[in-house]
Amino acid sequence: MPTAKTTVLKGDFTGSYEGSSYEQHPPTQGGEEGSHRMGSGPGHNVTRRQNLAPPDNVLNSAACAVCGDRASGNFFGATVCLPCKSFFIRCTKDGEPAVQKQCNGCCDVSKELRNRCQFCRFQRCLLIGMTRKEKPMVVHAAEGQELCRVCGDLANGVHFGIFTCEGCKKFFRRGLKEHKSYVCRGAHDCQLNPRNRNNCRACRFWKCAAVGMSRDAIKMGRPRKTFFQSKTDEDQAGLPPSYFHHKQSNTTPPTQLTALLDNKTPQRSLNRSPHRRSPTDEVRYPVCVPHLQLHPEKPISFYQWATRSESCSAGLLGSEPPCVASEDVGRSQSLPNVQTMPMIVPLGSVQSASHFSAQIGENRTFTSSNPYSSLFRSSAPAVTQLQPLPVSLRLNTDASTHSVKKYKGSKPPAPDAPDHFVSTRLCDQTSWAPPASRDFHAERLSLMSSVNDRVVRGRDIDGALDLSVRTNVAPSRKNGVCPPSYNGESPRVYSMQPCSQEDVVSLLRATTTTERVVSEQGAFDDVERGIKISRMDSDSVHDENTRSSGGPGWTVSHRPITEATRQFVAHSDGPEDLSATDKLPQGSALRQNYRLCENVSETGNVSLSSLSSMHINSPCQSYYQWTSTKDKKDLFEASSWKVPTTLVPSLHPEMSASISLNSGLGINRASSETLRTEECTEINYFDSMRKLSRDVLMSEHKTITLNNQNAQYTSEHFPSIPQHCPGSLRQEKVIPSDNCHSIPSEHSQQLRYQLRGEKQSTITPRNNAPFVKEDEIRALNDIADIMHAVIETSERQKTTLNPQETPTHSTIQIPEELTQTKLGFNLVKLREYWDKTLKLLNVPAPVDGDFEIPDIFRFIAKEDVTSYEEIKKITSKKLDVDSNRPDGLWLCREEEQNWKCLQTHMPRNVRGENRFPFALPGVAPIDRDMTVD
């Protein structure tokens, strides 16, 4: 029988906490930690609200008690208009209002004059009784009552195995259900109480998990009678205390659980191992303790708890990766003992976590913060000698376009918009329609020309233009407002050119917008859009149909997976089952390494570009261990985007310091080299490329990038590598050091196999690879030869030029035809270009059809391959040309799908606590009201 619905009187807070044992506390002054506060819904009213709402006709005719304008309803305890409601919200948003008295206190606050004096208007609000009712910070439970283990509010039962209030129950359930990935804007140490529990969802969810809420702990139905009857005091020690209220008085001494939760000294011994429990001492309810769920037969560790599917799916571990390897791995003698690995737990949980760790026989240390995150600070002395860091940031143009569109909240470009991936950033900022007054072609030519001298340095080993050529900072921010440094005239290009801190911050803001969307809306919305802001610590977007390149923070990528990719991965040393990463602990280094394996483009090329550029030039490798927003913030503050000159003594002002190589032929193959300024010539550049390519292929120990989460593993198995060797071990190539060594990939492979529970056959990851090493070497040699030919051509051109007109830092111009094509990658034009090159080199060119550059170079050295048809046959790749594309030239089917996806998915307006930005050094926070009406 449904009960009659009650109508709630808006703003009626009377009766809150009536009948409860809450203590009424006056509101705190100045607010509590964190000024951010989510809409907390009816949470401020605890008792069921009465049907006290006046009839609509009464309300409609009522006047605002503040200004006399027509009231819109009852808000904050008074009948007021919307402007006054908003005014009151603004005044009380961050604690006490900041309005100062600058009058005699008798100003007219009528409708017409209400904006004249904020002080008097706010006084009027207070006078009529407007108030924000909040829950008390501390709640005391009466007899028989339990407090919520998460926030301390009154619990109304056991939810997910733990006594919680209704709100936390619902909150936790939502978190699990909706795959939310919350971000703490603080230090993951937000204190939770009934009043501020909505301030930080990340910490609230962490707390929920930390106290043991879990789907595994769900106990449906009626508890067994024997559950209460067969327990001795000792056996009851670890049980939720409320269960004993059914059988005994509430004077039960503190149990292990309550003692830990309340930080009291338990009266019973805490050293009993759960292993000692008699099998007859059946505990039907999982005993939930902080970080551990003890089970009589099979105690599980915090790690096991943390890596349960729900914990992972909820993104719990993504925000602060607490572990590096699995328990199974830990049992191997040849692998690190995870029992002793430091484990990261939420702040305030160290003691209890350590306690229970010891209780079940673990000898593990716990820390509340990433012990590695501060490593870069330990090398801070060099910060005294700083020079601006020529950061090379990359944004995929198409992805940044996505970003803009999403954030702008405007429609995607019209289907007939030409060159949408490029031109949208040049489009009208609100309609996405190409303005008739603008010549896109000319603009792009101008853009390309402006960076032409740098573009050549972005040319990849395979001759393709580096993606960063087409990188720009999207004129982001909502409603078309651009980042502060964006002048609105032409797209700012961040492409192999020095960026100022302001530029970086601008880019950061532009991209973080999307990141926030990703983290807030969850992975699966964005999978549909095929967008991700990659973070090495985040797997928020993960779907078998989408791959994103892992990047140091800001790589925006869109990379659909094709069957060809799967095949490639299957025949490489990557995992056969791409979805296998789901089985790995989220946020763990292993998973990240796995993702490197997945970092395969639709061309079958393994992209290591995300590992190549930025982090090498960064003052430390900490980009790879960004585990939270705070980490990023700290990194900003510590590095100030400068690099110790002692580390990079002679950076080329434009070229950055590193040259990296994507082998394109397999994972775990990368090499890099630093060029000094005087060495930064094209010849040296390509010589280095050639050298690197051979190094990559010839090296017995394929370098594998490990981040600091692997430091523990590294130190145990490679004692010569200091544990504090920051970040990527490939750093050895940048900062030569006797202390840094590369990691044989076999070990990584070994880990993978063990983690997957598979038998490791032979550690020859390339056994099934389609090419043998010699082929690759020849192919890369040919590539290098091609590049040399290009250089020679350029040199010949240079000699014909007037020396005074010769560019000082570049002589190779982008072929004009490339600049006129979509992203410079029009296949027809590109093929023409390459045909010329190949002809120059007297290399058989493909005869027909579309082609993919990597394939060309992969097979070019195979003597038995004489036509592109054979190449296609071997690679089994198909490039579908579809006339439905606006310009009639789909690159592939995925592009078409993306295009259609783009059209069907509208961006969402996102609010909430994850709203960017946090304060960045030296830059004023973004004005959230920065809108264009």
CA distance 919 to 731: 30
> 3-state SS of 186-198?
CCCCCCCCCCCCC
| Helix 827-840 and helix 773-800, axial crossing angle in degrees, nearest 10 | 90
Task: Kindly state whether residue 171 participates in binding DNA, applying the rule CB under 7 A.
Answer: yes
**What 3-state DSSP class applies to 94?**
coil
Name the segment binding DNA (CB under 7 A); options: 73-81, 582-590, 663-671, 696-704: 73-81
Question: 408 or 690: whose CB is closer to DNA?
Answer: 408
For the window 473-512, what string marks contact with DNA as x by the rule CB under 7 A? Answer: ----------------------------------------
Smallest distance from DNA to CB 76, Å? 5
Question: 201 or 831: whose CB is closer to DNA?
Answer: 201
Contact 594, 581 (CB under 8 A): yes
Question: 204 or 822: whose CB is closer to DNA?
Answer: 204
Non-local (6+) Cβ contacts of 700 within 8 A are none
Task: Kindly state whether residue 247 participates in binding DNA, applying the rule CB under 7 A.
Answer: no
CA angle in degrees (0–180, nearest 5) for 330-332-336? 50
Handedness of CA 611, 617, 621, 624 (dihedral sign): negative
Site for DNA in 188-227 (CB under 7 A): 197-198, 201, 218-227
Contact 124, 173 (CB under 8 A): no
Smallest distance from DNA to CB 162, Å? 8
Which bin fits 19, alpha (ψ -120 to 50), beta or left (φ > 0)? left
Smallest distance from DNA to CB 40, Å? 4
Contact 715, 722 (CB under 8 A): yes
Task: Kindly state whether residue 11 participates in binding DNA, applying the rule CB under 7 A.
Answer: yes
User: CA-based Rg of the chain, rounded to a whole angstrom?
Assistant: 31
Give the residue from 407, 207, 394, 318 showing the smallest Cα distance to 917.
407
Could you give the count of Cα atoms lying within 13 Å of 567 in the half-sphere of its Cβ? 12
Site for DNA in 510-539 (CB under 7 A): 520
Task: Kindly state whether residue 75 participates in binding DNA, applying the rule CB under 7 A.
Answer: yes
**How many residues are there in the chain?**
933
Question: 41 or 888: whose CB is closer to DNA?
Answer: 41
> 3-state SS of 808-831?
CCCCCCCCHHHHCCHHHCCHHHHH
Calculate the alpha carbon distances from 662 to 37, 406, 726 in Å.
46, 31, 22
Give the residue from 911, 910, 903, 912 showing the smallest Cα distance to 528.
903
Smallest distance from DNA to CB 603, Å? 36
Non-local (6+) Cβ contacts of 827 within 8 A are 850, 851, 879, 889, 891
Site for DNA in 275-314 (CB under 7 A): 284
Name the segment binding DNA (CB under 7 A); options: 160-168, 185-193, 373-381, 541-549: 160-168
Strand pairing report for 343-344 and 366-367 = parallel
Of the candidate residues 21, 33, 42, 103, the single one contacting DNA (CB under 7 A): 42
Of the candidate residues 2, 19, 30, 279, the single one contacting DNA (CB under 7 A): 2
- 279 burial level (CB within 10 Å; 0-12, 13-18, 19+): exposed
CA distance 632 to 5: 48
CA distance 362 to 257: 18
Name the segment binding DNA (CB under 7 A); options: 9-17, 533-541, 853-861, 873-881: 9-17
Q: Which two tokens stand for residue 336?
A: 């690190």
Name the segment binding DNA (CB under 7 A); options: 168-176, 292-300, 794-802, 895-903: 168-176
Task: Kindly state whether residue 5 participates in binding DNA, applying the rule CB under 7 A.
Answer: yes
Non-local (6+) Cβ contacts of 533 within 8 A are 403, 511, 512, 514, 515, 518, 554, 555, 556
Smallest distance from DNA to CB 84, Å? 13
DSSP single-letter state for residue 664: S
Task: Kindly state whether residue 168 participates in binding DNA, applying the rule CB under 7 A.
Answer: yes
Of the candidate residues 22, 45, 402, 609, the single one contacting DNA (CB under 7 A): 45
Non-local (6+) Cβ contacts of 249 within 8 A are none
Smallest distance from DNA to CB 626, Å? 23
Count of C-beta atoms within a 10 Å radius of residue 317: 24
Q: Is the backbone peptide bond immediately before 917 cis, with ω within 30 degrees of 0?
A: yes
Smallest distance from DNA to CB 912, Å? 5
Of the candidate residues 80, 158, 344, 725, the single one contacting DNA (CB under 7 A): 158
Question: 229 or 762: whose CB is closer to DNA?
Answer: 229
Task: Kindly state whether residue 39 participates in binding DNA, applying the rule CB under 7 A.
Answer: yes
Name the segment binding DNA (CB under 7 A); options: 43-51, 466-474, 505-513, 696-704: 43-51
Question: 245 or 724: whose CB is closer to DNA?
Answer: 245
Calculate the alpha carbon distances from 450 to 109, 222, 425 in Å.
57, 73, 17
Exposure class string for 213-240: b at 16+ Cβ within 10 A, else e: bbbbbeeeeeeeeebeeebeeeebbbbb
For the window 82-111, what string marks contact with DNA as x by the rule CB under 7 A? Answer: ----x--x---x------------------
Question: 205 or 594: whose CB is closer to DNA?
Answer: 205
Smallest distance from DNA to CB 898, Å? 23
Of the candidate residues 1, 106, 442, 698, the single one contacting DNA (CB under 7 A): 1
**How many chain residues touch DNA (CB under 7 A)?**
68
Task: Kindly state whether residue 165 participates in binding DNA, applying the rule CB under 7 A.
Answer: yes
Site for DNA in 904-923 (CB under 7 A): 908-912
Of the candidate residues 114, 121, 124, 159, the single one contacting DNA (CB under 7 A): 159
Of the candidate residues 69, 166, 544, 882, the single one contacting DNA (CB under 7 A): 166
Name the segment binding DNA (CB under 7 A); options: 42-50, 308-316, 637-645, 867-875: 42-50
Question: 218 or 919: whose CB is closer to DNA?
Answer: 218
Of the candidate residues 14, 40, 145, 332, the single one contacting DNA (CB under 7 A): 40
Task: Kindly state whether residue 38 participates in binding DNA, applying the rule CB under 7 A.
Answer: yes
Question: 46 or 635: whose CB is closer to DNA?
Answer: 46
Task: Kindly state whether residue 43 participates in binding DNA, applying the rule CB under 7 A.
Answer: yes
Catalog residues that contact DNA under the rule CB under 7 A: 1-3, 5-12, 37-49, 53, 74-76, 86, 89, 93, 132, 157-161, 165-171, 173-174, 177, 197-198, 201, 218-227, 246, 284, 520, 908-912
